[in-house]
Amino acid sequence: MRSSFDDPLQLRAVNAHVFCSRLFWLEYVAGEFVDNAHTLEGSHVHRRVDKPGGAMPAPHTPDESAENEGDDPWHTRSLWLSDDTSGLTGKLDLVDLVDEGRVMPVDTKKGKPTRDGELWEADRAQLTLQALLLKAHGYRVESIAAWYHGSRQRVVEVLTPEMETWALGHAMSARHTRSLEKPPAPLVDSPKCRGCSLNVVCLPDEVNALTGGGAHEEGEIRRVLVPDHDAVPVYVTESGTRIGLKQNMLKITPRRGSDMEPAEVGLGAMSQLNLMGGVQITTQAMQALLRRDVPVSFFSYGGFYYGRTQSATSRNVKVRIAQFKQAESPVALDIARTLIADKLYNARVFLRRHLPQGPESKRVLRKLTRIRKKAEKAESAEQLLGYEGEGARQYWSHFNALVQADDEAWAMQGRNRRPPRDPVNAMLSFGYALLVKDAQLAVEAAGLDAYLGVYHTAHHGRPSMALDLMEPFRRLIVDSAVYLMVRRGEVSPEHFVRSGQAVAMKTHARKALIAAYERRMTESVIHPLFGYAISYRRIIAVQARLLARVLTGEIEEMPNFRTR
């Protein structure tokens, strides 16, 4: 059996553990990492010390080595040291020669020291362990220092035996946390969470609210911080378009004779790239997108979602282990019941908002409520499937009446697909393909396997978990976008083409639907459970994270998402 000392503990991991044990677990056990402004700025201020350089004489012969290098005191940058006895390893930003053979580790920090001008505890622990590594290699160390870039200040502290014992205690505590199967509980109302890059993964206030770990009242939960909120999805819908790379821009060149204008899009302004039909993209452009973690999704011209490329899948293997363990378990059925009940609830909300008041609308609303309550108590996936189908029949008959209210050209022939046989079904199928794409991105970002669901059965090429996750959102996002497009006259029957029984969208309809879908995804709503304003795109990401927490056992029940 391997001991905790067989896997060396990184010194920066101890720094993270002192800052927050949950952050440490998520980053160094689960493998989660997300950049934010603080981490990017930290990388920037480290750009010089991250380059190896300088001189590092052997222990106890500094004067002799210094003579070899000249009269200036020596220092070395980016020095990696390990010690098997203590089980520690880490990279030292800088090691300075102090005098008479004494050396001092100096770490670079992007911020400022404490108000008292001292080292932060996390920094002190990391630097003390750096000093112990140097001692283990025979160097004499009597002080430690940090260079705080924010205040352009070097803070030096004398190393004491008490500090060494204290820092080793933190290392031992970090090893204990590393052995845990679940992450430690989140901090409660901590100001540290605001700037933490893993806030969107940790969901501290949301998890505390669901587990009773914080004394939150309605509306008190802090909004999840959204990274890269300025970056937007980009869609290229015209076959024959070529995409290449021009420095840090994607150069989009339409086919000859097209009405489209050439365009250039900055890589940093793009959250995802979606290609419809026969769009060509160069290897250089693909590599640049992968380097920036920008996923590229591929669709058929008609909107069928083929899949996507991305730089790497989530490293949080513990989530996938839990997902496979829970497949077809009572936990999976509980989650499925919640998702389908939410779908039925939100379908009722959609009809309540748009159906004219009268006996018929009251009848169908009551019917949907009864079906939803039955679904909440379903004893098997087969029973749940029956309730879902019963609710769908009620919903689609009235959705059809809504969209063709003023023009029979929008009449639906029931819900049909592959191929869609009327314009409304063509738009719905295309919109659901877009939603599958976003749900799959959220599911995989949460560490889940998109192809093993809790409700949809495993089937070749079917992203079952993404289909599960999107169930409560179908009516709120896609159906709502299609209905409003028809009502507002953003599309007309002339924007569709019929071939045999199949109906497909022309370019105008496709572009209009993409625009309507993206408007809906970026629309802010008040989260019914947590009480803060958040976009639908972020809600899907949050629900995916919470679903993963149910599978790993961190929270007991899948939280509902029901609109009012």
Residue 58: inside a domain, yes or no?
no
Q: Is 475 left (phi over 0), alpha (psi -120 to 50) or beta?
A: alpha
Amino acid occupying residue 525: V
CATH number at residue 160: 3.90.320.10
Q: How far apart are CA 128 and CA 110, in angstroms?
A: 19
Give the mean pLDDT of 423-432. 94
pLDDT of residue 66: 45
Q: How far apart are CA 414 and CA 438, in angstroms?
A: 26
Decide which of 282, 309, 336 is a domain's last residue: 309
Rounded to whole angstroms, what are the CA distances from 349 to 335, 388, 508? 21, 16, 30
SS3 120: coil
Please give the torsion angle defined by the CA atoms of residues 35, 40, 41 and 46, in that order, rounded to the nearest 10 degrees: 120
CATH number at residue 270: 3.100.10.20
CATH number at residue 458: 1.20.120.920
Residue 66: inside a domain, yes or no?
no
Range name among 27-36, 239-248, 329-338, 434-443 with the lowest pLDDT average? 27-36
pLDDT band at 468 (very low <50, low <70, confident <90, very high): very high
Clarify whether residues 27 and 169 are in a common domain.
yes
Q: How much of the chain, in percent, has pLDDT values that exceed 90?
A: 55
Clarify whether residues 21 and 43 are in a common domain.
yes
Annotation-wise, does 471 bind a ligand?
Answer: yes
Residues 365-384: tens digit of each pLDDT: 999 999 999 999 999 999 99
CB 140 within 8 A of CB 132: no
Rounded to whole angstroms, what are the CA distances from 402 to 300, 353, 505? 29, 11, 21
Clarify whether residues 207 and 245 are in a common domain.
no
pLDDT band at 65 (very low <50, low <70, confident <90, very high): very low
Residue 61: inside a domain, yes or no?
no
In 179-299, alpha helices (H): 192-195, 199-202, 204-211, 283-291
Give the mean pLDDT of 523-529. 85
pLDDT of residue 228: 45
Residues 11-62: tens digit of each pLDDT: 999 999 999 999 999 999 988 888 777 888 888 888 877 777 777 777 765 4
**b/e for 72-95, b at 16 or more Cβ within 10 A?**
eebbbbbbebebeebbbbbbbbbb
Clarify whether residues 264 and 342 are in a common domain.
no
Residue 562: inside a domain, yes or no?
no
Residue 421: which of 406, 436, 400, 405 has the closest Cα?
Answer: 400
Range of the domain at 476: 317-552
Clarify whether residues 469 and 347 are in a common domain.
yes
pLDDT of residue 307: 82
Residues 314-334: tens digit of each pLDDT: 778 889 999 999 988 999 999
Residue 79: which of 19, 139, 26 has the closest Cα?
Answer: 139
Clarify whether residues 110 and 240 are in a common domain.
no
Residue 367: which of 353, 383, 347, 384 has the closest Cα?
Answer: 347
Higher pLDDT, 64 or 9: 9
Residue 517: inside a domain, yes or no?
yes
**b/e for 103-123, b at 16 or more Cβ within 10 A?**
bbbbbbbbbebeeeeebbebb
Residue 62: inside a domain, yes or no?
no
Residue 68 has pLDDT above 50, yes or no: no
Task: Indicate the pTM of the whole model.
Answer: 0.78
Clarify whether residues 124 and 243 are in a common domain.
no
Total of domains in the chain: 4
CB 482 within 8 A of CB 431: yes
Residue 547 has pLDDT above 90, yes or no: yes
Structure token digits, residue 286: 């693909």
| Number of neighbours of residue 144 by Cβ within 10 angstroms | 26
pLDDT of residue 224: 55
Structure token digits, residue 278: 């026969």
Rounded to whole angstroms, what are the CA distances from 34 to 38, 190, 198, 215, 540? 11, 19, 6, 28, 17
pLDDT of residue 501: 85
pLDDT of residue 95: 92
Q: How far apart are CA 135 and CA 164, in angstroms?
A: 11
CB 554 within 8 A of CB 182: yes
SS3 64: helix
CB 441 within 8 A of CB 515: no
Q: How far apart are CA 81 and CA 132, in angstroms?
A: 10
DSSP letter string over 211-238? Answer: HT-S---TT-SPPPP-TTTT-EEEEE-S
Structure token digits, residue 371: 């079906």
pLDDT band at 301 (very low <50, low <70, confident <90, very high): confident
pLDDT of residue 218: 52
Q: What mean pLDDT value characterizes the chain?
A: 87
Give the mean pLDDT of 422-431. 94
Structure token digits, residue 259: 């009405």
Give the mean pLDDT of 430-439. 94
Decide which of 288, 309, 330 is a domain's last residue: 309
Residue 277 has pLDDT above 90, yes or no: no
Clarify whether residues 393 and 539 are in a common domain.
yes
pLDDT of residue 222: 63
Residue 67: inside a domain, yes or no?
no
* CA quadruple 497, 498, 499, 504: dihedral sign: positive
Which are the contacts of 67, defined by CB distance < 8 A and separation ≥ 6? none
Clarify whether residues 206 and 284 are in a common domain.
no
pLDDT of residue 229: 55
pLDDT band at 167 (very low <50, low <70, confident <90, very high): very high
Clarify whether residues 453 and 500 are in a common domain.
yes
Q: How far apart are CA 463 and CA 55, in angstroms?
A: 54
Residues 101-128: tens digit of each pLDDT: 789 999 999 999 999 999 999 999 999 9
Pairing of strands 296-299, 280-281: unpaired
Amino acid occupying residue 101: G
Residue 533 has pLDDT above 80, yes or no: yes
Give the mean pLDDT of 413-418. 82
Clarify whether residues 141 and 287 are in a common domain.
no
Residue 141 has pLDDT above 90, yes or no: yes
pLDDT band at 211 (very low <50, low <70, confident <90, very high): confident
Residue 536: which of 509, 510, 517, 564 has the closest Cα?
Answer: 517
Residue 563: inside a domain, yes or no?
no
Clarify whether residues 416 and 514 are in a common domain.
yes
